[in-house]
């Protein structure tokens, strides 16, 4: 007997999700979009939006929907390192801080500035692949997908190669604290991670200040100059945004590559087409981003009264944006749950939207394209070999363990 939609939605609570949800949240998202596209979350949790058109409006209308998280994070984090961190980064702020920091970052991450990055990434991937041989069963997350992004963002922020070991664990602990509900242990470990990360970055920034030249144009040098030029960015904001960049620059890209490995390993005919015509890899990456968005949820808070879908909501209403649902909206995408290599040009929200469109999207696309194309060129019959363990995270969709076998 099938459970009625109203029964499933009545029990839907982002802070109390069944285990099955993490494995496949999309049936729930489809049901919410179809039955209650403006879904009222329990316990004054605000509204949960699932339609593409509604997310598009919220991302663009910054006069109504704010990204500032001070009100949201104070009850959750209190006076803590996690609160200081997450309320100091550009992603959780409006202008002027967001504008100031983003302007600095975008210059260093513009496509023209990143042109030399492609060959460097190719060399990194080739090096990583030397450790994977025909017949090997390996964890596609720890042994492949996570290795490239940390090298790339580590280089951009001048983190010495022999000092990068703690970065991924700190990142997972800090980003994990953004889940709708966290345990006391997650709270404690997340705060420890922020404190340790800050101490670590103090040393790196101090060293970079001594070593940098006037013509250095890397990302960390740009941020340091903004602080020293009295352009409004404070030293602690520099450190907090370096943490954000290191986290965002590698964890979501790790999830993109991992999801691409799993998705494409199940589509041998697509792999053949891609290997026959490598120019199609850009389209493949966009379709993976749409289908398995590494970041599934976003948040805003209304700063004035607003109306949506014929309903009026007061100032202060929290708004949860379901990227995973909007990117599979059948009103926008034909066969939304299927991987279709040649969809033509389309827009998705894997990188958010509006003024908060991800500044690092070009880097992520380059990394995803090269990492996926090279491994499937070497191992066109790469496939799952073991039990997959999905990460128990609603916001960041990824894996704890993805066992795969290298096969030609």
Low-confidence winner among 13-17, 64-68, 214-218, 385-389 (lowest mean pLDDT): 214-218
Please report which confidence band the pLDDT of residue 389 belongs to, taking 50, 70 and 90 as the band edges. very high
pLDDT in tens, 304-360: 999 999 999 999 999 999 999 999 999 999 999 999 999 989 999 999 999 999 989
Q: Nearest-CA neighbor of 23 among 402, 399, 378?
A: 399
Q: What is the b/e burial string over 188-197, where b = at least 16 CB atoms within 10 angstroms of the residue's CB?
A: ebbbebbbeb
pLDDT of residue 233: 72
**d(Cα 77, Cα 21) in Å, to the nearest integer?**
25
**d(Cα 289, Cα 277) in Å, to the nearest integer?**
20
Assign 47 to helix, strand or coil: strand
Q: How far is CA 137 from CA 43, 387, 403, 405, in A?
A: 46, 12, 7, 4
pTM: 0.93
pLDDT of residue 1: 43
pLDDT in tens, 134-184: 999 999 999 999 999 999 999 888 889 999 999 999 999 999 999 999 999
Low-confidence winner among 33-37, 93-97, 284-288 (lowest mean pLDDT): 93-97
Q: Nearest-CA neighbor of 350 among 338, 339, 342, 358?
A: 358
CATH class for the region spanning 67-295+350-405: mainly alpha
CB 137 within 8 A of CB 363: no
**pLDDT(3) > 60:** no
List the domain boundaries for the chain: 67-295+350-405
pLDDT in tens, 274-296: 999 999 999 999 999 999 999 99
């Amino acid at each position: 007997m099938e459970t009625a939609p109203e029964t499933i939605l009545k029990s839907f609570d982002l802070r109390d999700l069944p285990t099955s949800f993490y494995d496949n949240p999309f049936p729930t998202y489809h049901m919410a979009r179809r039955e209650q596209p403006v879904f009222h979350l329990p316990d004054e949790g605000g509204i949960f939006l699932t339609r593409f058109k509604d997310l598009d409006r919220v991302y663009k209308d910054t006069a109504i929907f704010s990204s500032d998280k001070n009100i949201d994070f104070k009850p959750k984090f209190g006076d803590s390192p996690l609160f200081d961190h997450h309320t100091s980064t550009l992603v959780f702020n409006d202008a002027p801080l967001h504008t100031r920091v983003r302007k600095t970052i975008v210059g260093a991450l513009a496509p023209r500035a990143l042109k030399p990055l492609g060959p460097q990434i190719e060399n990194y991937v080739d090096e990583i692949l030397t450790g994977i041989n025909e017949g090997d069963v390996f964890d596609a997350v720890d042994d492949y997908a996570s290795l490239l992004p940390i090298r790339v963002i580590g280089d951009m922020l001048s983190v010495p190669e022999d000092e990068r070991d703690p970065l991924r664990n700190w990142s997972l602990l800090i980003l994990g604290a953004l889940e709708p509900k966290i345990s006391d242990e997650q709270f404690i470990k997340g705060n420890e991670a922020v404190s340790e990360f800050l101490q670590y970055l103090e040393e790196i920034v101090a060293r970079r200040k001594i070593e940098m030249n006037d013509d250095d144009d890397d990302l960390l040098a740009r941020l340091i100059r903004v602080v020293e030029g009295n352009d409004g960015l404070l030293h602690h904001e520099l450190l907090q945004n370096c943490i954000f960049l290191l986290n965002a620059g590698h964890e979501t890209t790790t999830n993109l590559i991992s999801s691409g490995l799993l998705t494409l390993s199940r589509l041998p005919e697509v792999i053949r087409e891609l290997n026959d015509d490598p120019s199609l890899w850009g389209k493949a990456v966009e379709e993976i981003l749409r289908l398995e968005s590494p970041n599934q949820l976003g948040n805003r808070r209304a700063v004035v009264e607003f109306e949506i879908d014929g309903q009026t909501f007061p100032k202060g209403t929290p708004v949860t944006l379901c990227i995973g649902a909007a990117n599979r909206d059948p009103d926008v995408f034909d066969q939304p749950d299927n991987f279709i290599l040649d969809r033509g040009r389309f827009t998705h929200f894997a990188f958010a939207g509006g003024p908060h469109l991800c500044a690092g999207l070009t880097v992520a696309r380059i990394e995803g394209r090269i990492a996926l194309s090279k491994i499937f060129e070497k191992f066109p019959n790469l496939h799952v070999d073991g039990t997959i363990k999905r990460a128990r995270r609603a916001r960041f969709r990824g894996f704890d363990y993805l066992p795969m076998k290298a096969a030609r």
